[in-house]
C-alpha cells in the first residue's frame, strides 16, 4: 500500500521492529518497538499511518476567504473549513502544489486568477502523539470562480461553498464555529506571517 | 474500554452498523456503515476513536508563554508545544479544567498563581475526516513555577521547558518551528479572541 511514512530516523531514534496491527486502504496501524534519545531501553508505541494532505486557504482579490461546508463522518456533522485533500504520491514532482490546485477546484469550484499564485505556509502535524499524518498549508490568491465549477467526488459531501470577509472568518474562529485543525493552523500561520 | 465516542447522532445521520476492526488501550478502529443528510444510501467509512484531550496555553504575568519540548514517536523527533494530555473520564465533573491543571503541572512544572484562572478557548478536531478525537483549549494565567516541580510520567519524554515572549512565540509559528495542531489551534483562538 502506498503510504508514505513520514519518518526520517533522527539521530538517537532506532526502530527495533514494527508490527502491523491493522491495514485498509485508508490507514495502517502499527505498534513499533523503538528507542529514543531519552529512552534507551526499547519501548512500544501505537502509530496510525495516513497519507499526507494539502490544505488551501483561497483568498479573493478583495480579501475574502473561500470556505466549504463538508460532512465529516467521524463527528457526524458538517463543518466550515478550507478545501483540503490527500496526496496520492508524495514523491511526485510539484505534488503539493498540484494537489492543492486540484482540491481548490474540485471542492470549491475556484481557481487561481491570471497572475495568481500559491504561497507556502509550511506544514503541521494534526495529532503528533498518535499519527504521522502531516498537512501542507498553502495560501492561494487571488482566486476566481472556475468556468468548470466544482467536481465533488463520490466520497465527499460538500453542501455549501461561499466567501467570507476576513472579519467574518476571524469571528468564526473566535466563536468556535471553525473547529478543524486544518483551517485553524492555516489561520495561525497567516496571522504570524503578517499575511492577514 | 472507556472510549468516550464523541458522536451525537445529528438529524439526518443514522449509523446502520459499526464493525470493530482493531482495538488496543490507545485507540479503536471501526468501519461504520451509515447514512448522512446528503448520502441517503448506506456507505462505509473508517474511523479511529481516541480519548479527548486538553491543551493548556500557560501565560506568565509578564505575557510570556510556557512551552515544553517533547519527543513524539510517530514523527521520530522532539517538538515545542503547549502542555497537553488525554481526558481519562470525559463524564466526570470539571474534568476539562482538572485535566488541564494536571498536565500543566506535570509537564511544565507550572501552576496557576494566586488569583490566576483558566479561560476556555473552545475545542477543535485534529483530523475530522478520520478520527473523532477532539481537544479542548484553555488559557491559563498568570502561571508561576510550582514548588513541586514537574512530574513526567513514564510515557512522556519532555526534554526542555521554558518561557518564550509573545513575540518569540509568534516567530516560532511563522517559521514553522511550532508545527503541532494543538499549539497552532490555541494560538489561532487567542488571536481571534483578542487575547494576544
B contacts of A32 (beta carbons < 8 Å): 73
pLDDT for res A110 = 97
Q: Are residues A24 and A117 in the same domain?
A: no
Q: Which residues pair with A66 in a beta bridge?
A: A163
pLDDT band at A89 (very low <50, low <70, confident <90, very high): confident
pLDDT for res A1 = 37
Percentage of residues in chain A with pLDDT exceeding 70?
Answer: 93
Report the interhelical angle of B181-192 vs A166-175 (nearest 10°): 110
B1, part of any domain: no
ipTM above 0.90, yes or no: yes
Q: Are residues A59 and A129 in the same domain?
A: yes
How far apart are alpha carbons A181 and A26 in whole angstroms? 19
Q: Are residues A119 and A184 in the same domain?
A: yes
Q: Is A10's CB within 8 Å of B71's CB?
A: no
How far apart are alpha carbons A184 and B165 in whole angstroms? 22
Average pLDDT over chain B, rounded to an integer: 92
Provide the chain A residues 11-40 that lie in CB contact (below 8 A) with chain B: 13, 21-22, 24, 26-27, 29, 31-32, 34, 36-39
Q: Could you report the per-residue pLDDT of A69-85, keeping only the tens digit for each?
A: 999 999 999 999 999 99
pLDDT band at B1 (very low <50, low <70, confident <90, very high): very low
Instruction: Note the pTM of the prediction, 2 decimals.
Output: 0.95
**Optimal mutation site among A19, A70, A125, interface B, most CBs of chain B within 10 A:** A125
Q: Name the minimum distance, in Å, from the CA of B45 to any CA of chain A.
A: 7
Average pLDDT over residues A16-45: 96
**Optimal mutation site among A18, A76, A103, interface B, most CBs of chain B within 10 A:** A76
Q: Is A103 on the interface with B (CB under 8 A)?
A: no
pLDDT for res A2 = 43
Average pLDDT over residues B144-169: 86
Select from A10, A130, A193 the Cβ nearest to the Cβ of B74.
A130
Q: Are residues A134 and A175 in the same domain?
A: yes
Q: Are residues B164 and B88 in the same domain?
A: yes
pLDDT for res B97 = 96
Percentage of residues in chain B with pLDDT exceeding 90?
Answer: 85
Average pLDDT over residues B44-67: 97
Select from A13, A24, A71 the Cβ nearest to the Cβ of B37.
A71
Least confident piece of the model among A80-84, A87-91, A149-153, B45-49: A149-153
pLDDT for res A7 = 58
Q: Are residues A168 and A100 in the same domain?
A: yes
Q: Are residues B30 and B110 in the same domain?
A: no
**What is the grid cell recorded at A185?**
493552523
B contacts of A42 (beta carbons < 8 Å): none
How far apart are alpha carbons B169 and B177 in whole angstroms? 10
How far apart are alpha carbons A158 and A83 in whole angstroms? 10
Q: Is A118 on the interface with B (CB under 8 A)?
A: no
CATH code for the domain of B145: 3.90.79.10
pLDDT band at A14 (very low <50, low <70, confident <90, very high): very high
Q: What's the burial of A128, exposed, middle or buried (CB within 10 Å: 0-12/13-18/19+)? A: buried
pLDDT for res B92 = 75
Structural domain tally of chain B?
2
A8, part of any domain: no
pLDDT above 50: residue B2: no
List the domain range (segments joined by +) for residue B125: 53-192
**Optimal mutation site among B79, B192, B195, interface A, most CBs of chain A within 10 A:** B192
**Torsion of the alpha carbons at A128, A133, A134 and A135, rounded to the nearest 10:** -120
A contacts of B129 (beta carbons < 8 Å): 72-74
pLDDT for res B185 = 98
Amino acid at each position: 500500500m502506498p503510504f508514505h511514512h513520514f519518518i526520517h530516523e533522527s539521530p538517537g531514534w532506532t526502530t527495533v521492529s514494527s508490527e502491523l496491527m491493522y491495514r485498509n486502504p485508508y490507514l495502517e496501524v502499527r505498534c513499533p518497538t523503538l528507542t529514543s534519545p531519552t529512552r534507551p531501553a526499547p519501548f512500544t508505541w501505537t502509530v496510525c499511518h495516513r497519507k499526507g494532505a494539502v490544505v488551501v486557504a483561497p483568498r479573493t482579490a478583495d480579501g475574502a476567504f473561500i470556505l466549504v461546508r463538508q460532512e465529516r463522518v467521524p463527528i457526524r456533522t458538517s463543518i466550515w473549513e478550507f478545501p483540503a485533500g490527500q496526496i496520492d504520491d508524495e514523491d511526485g514532482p510539484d505534488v503539493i502544489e498540484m494537489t492543492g490546485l486540484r482540491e481548490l477546484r474540485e471542492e470549491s469550484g475556484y481557481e487561481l486568477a491570471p497572475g495568481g499564485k500559491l504561497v507556502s505556509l509550511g506544514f503541521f502535524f494534526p495529532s503528533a502523539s498518535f499519527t504521522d499524518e502531516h498537512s501542507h498549508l498553502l495560501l492561494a490568491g487571488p482566486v476566481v470562480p472556475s468556468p468548470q465549477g466544482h467536481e465533488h467526488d463520490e466520497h465527499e459531501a460538500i453542501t455549501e461553498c461561499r466567501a467570507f470577509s476576513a472579519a467574518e472568518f476571524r469571528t468564526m474562529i473566535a466563536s468556535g464555529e471553525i473547529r478543524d485543525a486544518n483551517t485553524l493552523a492555516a489561520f495561525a500561520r497567516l496571522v504570524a506571517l503578517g499575511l492577514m
